[in-house]
Amino acid sequence: MRSLKNQSGQVVIFFVLLVPIFVLALVLFTKFSRDVFTKMKLQGALDRGVYAAASYQTEVLNQTALLNRKAHDLFLQLEKEFKGISQPNDEKARERIKNLWINQNNLYDEMDSLAKVVYERAFEIFQNEVKKDFPDVKLSSLYRVSPVLWDGPKIDFSFDKVKGTVIFDPTGHQKVPKTDFEARMAFVKDPSQTIAFVGAVETKNGLQAVAAAQPFGGSVWNFALSSDKDETLLYQTSMVPVDTLPLEDFNPDEIHH
């Protein structure tokens, strides 16, 4: 009888000792579950923010492509005029070439103004999106590349001179001075650039997440020269693995906000 009581007492003591362990395990499991849920929610907010920021970059590149198309249309219009029935004299030809450059430069200024603010505006969009759900997190921008445009190929218009009149000659039979009759076809984006947005986030509890997205599939140059303004040559937005982006373009100092 005493043996049974001793055994019962030992069982009670055993379970009493187990209670704190169960409680601790429950607390740890609850914390782990909460951290996993928070991490998933944090990653979701980050992904939405990064995608929204990269979508703005996509919009800017597509606006640039449309403006570049206008620049090429100006070139085509001038080329058509020079091939037309009414042939310009030297002075008129130079004036029309000059106006082409001026008008294209004005379009370049529009494209450049978009490029200069694309990063700041993209980060603002990213920040607003993430902080809808996590207002107190620390945000970092790890990658900063803005579009750079170059002059595209230039065509040296060639003419025959007949009694003071310049007549367009695509074969280059007799050329007037190159500096006066060189026409720019359009602009081209620096092909070495990879435009993307990479964002990182950290909570007060030390949870961290990182994500990347980028415009892809488009071409500022090819869209400008496409005969039917092919929309498949415009950019789209896609989430991408961070390690697919050029390492040299990452910001070594991490911009914190």
Each residue of 134-148: pLDDT tens digit?
999 999 989 888 899
Please list the residues that pair with 188 across neighbouring strands. 150
| pLDDT at site 175 | 44
Burial of 66 (0-12, 13-18, 19+ CB in 10 A): middle
Q: Which pLDDT belongs to residue 180?
A: 55
DSSP codes, 167-221: EE-TT-SSPPPGGGSEEE--EEE-TT----EEEEEE-TT--EEEEEEEEES--HH
Question: Which residues, 6 or more positions from 248, have their beta carbon under 8 angstroms from its beta carbon?
Answer: none
Report CA-CA distances (Å) from 214 to 54, 56, 145, 226, 257. 5, 10, 11, 23, 21
Q: Answer for the pair 79, 100: CB distance below 8 angstroms, yes or no.
A: no
Rounded CA-CA distance 149/132 in Å is 35
Distance from C-alpha of 73 to C-alpha of 181, rounded to nearest angstrom: 17
Residue range 86-108: mean pLDDT, rounded: 83
Rounded percentage of the chain residues whose pLDDT exceeds 70: 71
Task: Please indicate whether residue 251 or residue 185 has the higher confidence score (pLDDT).
Answer: 185
Q: Cα 153–157–161 angle (5° rounding)?
A: 170
pLDDT at 126: 97
pLDDT at position 42 over 80? yes
- The residues spanned by each domain of the chain are 2-256
Mean pLDDT of 167-182: 52
> Residue 176 — very low, low, confident or very high, per pLDDT cuts 50/70/90?
very low
Average pLDDT rounded to a whole number, residues 183-189: 94
Q: What is the mean pLDDT of the chain?
A: 81
Contact 159, 174 (CB under 8 A): yes
Q: How confident is the model at residue 185 (pLDDT cuts 50, 70, 90)?
A: very high
pLDDT in tens, 112-165: 999 999 999 999 999 999 999 899 999 998 988 889 999 999 987 765 454 445
Query: What pLDDT is attached to residue 257?
Result: 43
Residue 173 has pLDDT above 50, yes or no: no
Closest CA to 161 of 90, 71, 216, 96: 90
> What is the C-alpha separation between 213 and 237, in angstroms, rounded?
7
